[in-house]
Amino acid sequence: SLASTAITCFTRGLDLRKETEDVLCPANCPLWQFYVFGDGVYASLSSVCGAAIHSGVITNAGGAVRVQTLPGQENYPAVNANGIQSQVLARWASSFSVTHTKNIALEAVGRSVSTARPSTGKRPKKPLDKKAGNKDCKADIAFLIDGSYNIGQRRFNLQKNFVGKVAVMLGIGTEGPHVGVVQASEHPKIEFYLKNFTAAKEVLFAIKELGFRGGNSNTGKALKHTAQKFFSLENGARKGIPKIIVVFLDGWPSDDIEEAGIVAREFGVNVFIVSVAKPTTEELGMVQDIGFVDKAVCRNNGFFSYQMPTWFGTTKYVKPLVQKLCSHEQMLCSKTCYNSVNIGFLIDGSSSVGDSNFRLVLEFISNVAKAFEISDIGSKIAAVQFTYDQRTEFSFTDYTTKEKVLSAIRNIRYMSGGTATGDAISFTTRNVFGPMKDGPNKNFLVVLTDGQSYDDVRGPAAAAQKAGITVFSVGVAWAPLDDLKDMASEPRESHTFFTREFTGLEQMVPDVIRGICKDFLDSKQ
């Protein structure tokens, strides 16, 4: 008999290759994540296992299902069955039905029918590559379309056509660009996410189905909402792939867009603005902020802004825009201080600190580390404890997830002993930062101490700074201000922190994070 193919919770009808296919659904799929369209006959956009549970062929314990490809149809109904709410779909190019797997005799018939199809020769080869999409274009893109009264229904449809052409030319696919759409009007609405479709046909269909909302063009509000909510991993954003928002604006925004631009940059999102029919001289009086484009784009270098005179005859504008969106190396906003730094903590373990205060120091370090996106391609954390001696608690390459880093910090054992801060800085520069010298991340060292060092700190700190490490000094209790300033990078005032009590460390967390981010941004300008 034909073997059943194991599939995932998210495999859709259109992912299957054969006219009749026996598949095995896994157990415990999250019911609320299923996309199912129709009832009995399902649009091929639907999840196969979702449809099988919906129609009662299997339960959430999984099992074998036979999937039969059927022609497309119109008006797939929405029906709630077996814990799954299926959705309405106006039309789709193909459908499928699900039944219990039949016995072997019938299976052979099923097979001879499918082999009797016109000679397939080498045909299956091509769709596979097509599914992967354009691998040279790495991007997760949100098209933020204008759904305001400014644009109106007719131009809204022309805008949809343009976005559709851009989507097709991008070469959407599993390993190529992924796209989603957000509509800006009075209130922003996420129409579909990156994870919903991975083929251009589906995206085109979804764009065609979008309805015009109307309302003020609160582009700022929509841009901020998109930057904060759209690109989560749950919604299909991929690690290490540039995040892009393409804002389409007919005329000008009715709200402030500058703050939204700042938020987008903080979140590592590259903002492009495509402005159409920009304000005429007579209209300028109505525009809140004439420089709205320059304030919202990722960088005001001309690359991120794009102008079209009208929505008519836009075909010639498709290709140049696609080329911009696929220029990986131009995405200057992908790197943020949160995902592109190495932070080494140098921790005073001398006997004057004491056990309970040492816990407070570790808490401070955890709270700073928590703010960063730690991963193999993101930010990295290391820790060294010192007395007269030094001990590398963990290096930059030991842990590549936030959970592991935080648990390693919690498990640091207090050494207790003397204080040789200078030696410790030299040790850390050489052994911890040395191996990271040619990496892409910017290097930071945070020195925490509660007292006078027995050795010179000025020489070792200068050497660390010369090696490209920015030094912040955090002093508690008896740490002399001169030592702290001697260790800190320029301008010393903003790189030196001091608190009388260990309990005061907690208040400094946001300032240290802000200091790191400010230095990071200054180094990029």
pLDDT tens figures, 467-498: 999 999 999 999 999 999 999 999 999 999 99
Mean pLDDT, to the nearest integer, of 67-96?
A: 87
281, exposed or middle or buried, with CB in 10 Å at 0-12, 13-18, 19+? exposed
286 and 278 Cβ atoms separated by less than 8 Å = no
Predicted pLDDT at 11: 86
pLDDT score, position 102: 64
List the domain boundaries for the chain.
Answer: 5-100, 140-330, 341-522
In 3-state terms, what secondary structure has residue 70?
strand
Answer for the pair 174, 137: CB distance below 8 angstroms, yes or no. no
What pLDDT shows up at residue 389? 95
Indicate the pairing of strand 380-386 with strand 63-76: unpaired
Quote helix, strand, coil % in the chain, to nearest 5. 35, 25, 40
pLDDT of residue 129: 61
The yes-or-no answer to whether 5-100 and 341-522 have a common fold is: no
Please determine, for residue 115, whether its predicted confidence score (pLDDT) is greater than 50. Answer: no
pLDDT of 104 reads 38
What is the model's pTM? 0.61
What pLDDT was estimated at residue 525? 62
- Least confident span in 65-79, 101-115, 248-262: 101-115
For 25-54, the pLDDT digits (tens) are: 988 887 766 788 999 999 988 999 999 999
The CA-atom distances, in angstroms, between 108 and each of 25, 99, 356 are 22, 17, 73
| From the candidate CATH numbers 2.60.40.10, 2.170.130.20, 3.10.310.10, 1.10.3720.10, the one assigned to the domain spanning 5-100 | 2.170.130.20
The percent of residues in the chain predicted with pLDDT above 90, rounded, is 63
pLDDT over 70 (residue 111):
no
pLDDT digits (tens, 9 = 90+) for 359-404: 999 999 999 999 998 988 889 999 999 999 999 999 999 999 999 9
272-316 confidence digits (pLDDT tens):
999 998 777 777 677 777 788 888 999 888 899 999 999 998 999
Strands (E), 419-479: 442-449, 469-476
CATH number of 140-330: 3.40.50.410
SS3 524: helix
Mean pLDDT for the chain overall: 88
Mean pLDDT of 155-178: 94
Separation between Cα atoms, residue 514 and residue 161, nearest integer Å: 43
pLDDT band at 132 (very low <50, low <70, confident <90, very high): confident
Task: Name residue 231's amino acid.
Answer: F
By DSSP bridging, strand 80-81 and strand 84-85 are: antiparallel
pLDDT at 73: 86
Beta strand 38-39 pairing with 41-43: antiparallel
Q: DSSP per residue over 183-222, as a string?
A: EESSS-EEEE-TTT--SHHHHHHHHHTPPP--S---HHHH
pLDDT of residue 34: 76
Rg of the chain's alpha carbons, rounded to an integer?
29
Residue in the structure block whose two tokens are 């967390």: 509
121 pLDDT higher than 50: no
Residue 108: its pLDDT value, please? 32
Which has more confidence, 55 or 6?
A: 55
Tokens in use for 388? 């007269």
The pLDDT score that the predictor gives to residue 87 is 85
Tokens 């979804």 correspond to: 206
Class of domain 341-522: alpha beta
> What's the pLDDT band for 97 if we cut at 50, 70, 90?
very high
Q: CA-based angle 124:130:131, to the nearest 5? A: 90
204-215 as b/e: b if 16+ CB within 10 A: bbbbeebebbee
Instruction: Give pLDDT, residue 417.
Output: 93
Number of Cβ within 10 Å of residue 462's Cβ equals: 14
For residue 218, pLDDT over 90 is answered with yes
Is residue 343 predicted with pLDDT exceeding 80?
yes
